[in-house]
Structure 1
Amino acid sequence: MCSHYEAPAPQRVAETFGVEPFEQGKLDLYPGYTGPFVRHAEDVDAESQEPVEALPGSFGLIPSWSKDKKIARNTYNCRSETASQKPSFRSAWRKAQHCIIPAAAIYEPDWRSGNAITTRIVRADGEVMGIAGLWEQWRDPGTEKILHSYTMLTINADDHPFMRNYHKPQDEKRMVVILPKGLYGDWLKAPAGDSMEFMRQYPADRMTVAM
């Protein structure tokens, strides 16, 4: 599970995903903070050169029925195995509202010493992580403004040589779904019935700890 991650610099996101440059405030993100997510562009015409777009959104999915934004504190990760049934996520899952969350690093607690040691985890090749997620839009009942939000999809990692080292010993091990770059386009365009095909563990030898 990931409740803390580092967004890449906007220019790096633009170069990695082929999107227009954008403004980004904080790069060190927690639930409720605003970060970028990449999705298939909704309005693509014949002259459009970009099939994808980057949008700002709340880290923590806010379903359309929510009364306020506080729910984002509990919806920043989504178990892929139950996404189609959970009230907070099922609409986005069934509508295949797929997105990719760019991350320079994720942070997880290493409990092997008996104490939680916050650990910065990156791709071994130094490239941007593309984390599979779901996006949603919510209308603020007070201002009528539309707010976008997103959640990171997770899978079991009990047998993952790298990620099984994180979180408390008695807890189930989970990890976010890091997509291979070659699957970015396929994930964004995939129908709901194919979503689980992308829920795979990222190879342990392609992940490392960095300062």
Structure 2
Amino acid sequence: MCGRTSLFAPRAELESRFDARVPDDYRPRYNVAPSDPLEVITADQPDVVQRFDWGFMPRWADADDQGFINARAETAHEKPAFSDAWESRPCLVLSSGFYEWKETGRGRKQPYRVSREDDLAFAMAGLWQRWEDDGDRRQTVTILTTDPNELVEPLHDRMAVVLPREAETTWLTAGPDERADLCRPYPNDDLDAYPISTAVNDPSNDSPAIVEPDRSEQTGLGEFGS
């Protein structure tokens, strides 16, 4: 799954990378948790980066519901909560790297950062939903997940659908069947994973120190992906 993410690429670099205008009040964030806003690009406004609440709320959801932070790509098309969004509301969820927690057998989980080498931002596949109730209006989003690739498999049995750069436009513009073909384990070898401090466990910790390697761990996951 994907339950924590980040986006800290400089504003100008984001605009250049995605050919989209970034809000003036954009600020780098290193520890984005569910219910926080995520930067997204939608099919109907591909030249603007918007912010949607992380936690997809179906139309029938109550105002105090947390929403769905993830949706299984394999079944989203048939689930009542996501089927309409699957058909017509894909989006890109921008990220500088997401976090997963690995069982260590020592009574605690070790957090890892998963990022794309030499790329300060990439896109994960998402679906969005406009939720309204009694004057309360929210734009909400979920991140699609799939089976892990070799790099992420030691960490978790699911991973975010990370889109190859050349597939980002296709995700926004193609039909459901073609988009379904993109929902597979990330196929390229330019992802990296390395251990970080357990400071990431607390969402209030939001600083560049979050992404620094945990030197108490011997190695990252490069050995698992080789």
Q: Same fold (TM over 0.5)?
A: yes
Equivalent residue, structure 1, for 2:21: 20
Deviations 1:74-117 (A, max 9, x none): x111101110122321221133x110111111000011454310
Q: What SS does structure 2 have at the residue aligned with 1:202?
A: coil
Q: Give the CA deviation at 1:195.
A: 2.2
Mapped partners of 1:197, 1:187: distance in 2: 10
Deviations 1:162-198 (A, max 9, x none): 111113xxxxx11111111111111101112322111
- What TM-score results when the alignment is normalised by the length of structure 2? 0.77
**Distance of aligned partners of 1:129 and 1:113 in 2 relative to their CA distance in 1, 3 Å threshold:** farther
Equivalent residue, structure 2, for 1:4: 4
Equivalent residue, structure 2, for 1:148: 139
Equivalent residue, structure 1, for 2:41: 38
Find 2:80's aligned residue among 84, 87, 91: 87
Q: What SS does structure 2 have at the residue aligned with 1:205?
A: coil
Equivalent residue, structure 2, for 1:128: 121
Q: Give the CA deviation at 1:70.
A: 2.1
Find 1:52's aligned residue among 41, 47, 57: 47
**Distance of aligned partners of 1:63 and 1:181 in 2 relative to their CA distance in 1, 3 Å threshold:** same
| Structure 1 unaligned residues grouped into runs of 5+ | 43-50, 168-172
Deviations 1:7-64 (A, max 9, x none): 234613322111112123572211111121111235xxxxxxxx43211111111122
Answer yes or no: is the 8 Å Cα contact 1:135–1:149 preserved in 2. Answer: yes
Q: Which moved more, 1:194-203 or 1:107-116?
A: 107-116
| Structure 2 unaligned residues grouped into runs of 5+ | 195-212, 214-226
Answer yes or no: is the 8 Å Cα contact 1:10–1:24 preserved in 2. Answer: no
Find 1:185's aligned residue among 165, 169, 176: 169
Equivalent residue, structure 2, for 1:98: 90
- Which one-letter code corresponds to 1:63 in the other structure? P
Mapped partners of 2:168, 2:22: distance in 1: 19
- What TM-score results when the alignment is normalised by the length of structure 1? 0.82
Q: For this pair of structures, how many residues does the alignment match? A: 191
Equivalent residue, structure 2, for 1:47: none
Find 1:166's aligned residue among 155, 158, 167: 155
Considering only aligned residues, what root-mean-square deviation do their CA atoms show, in Å? 2.0
Mapped partners of 2:120, 2:28: distance in 1: 20
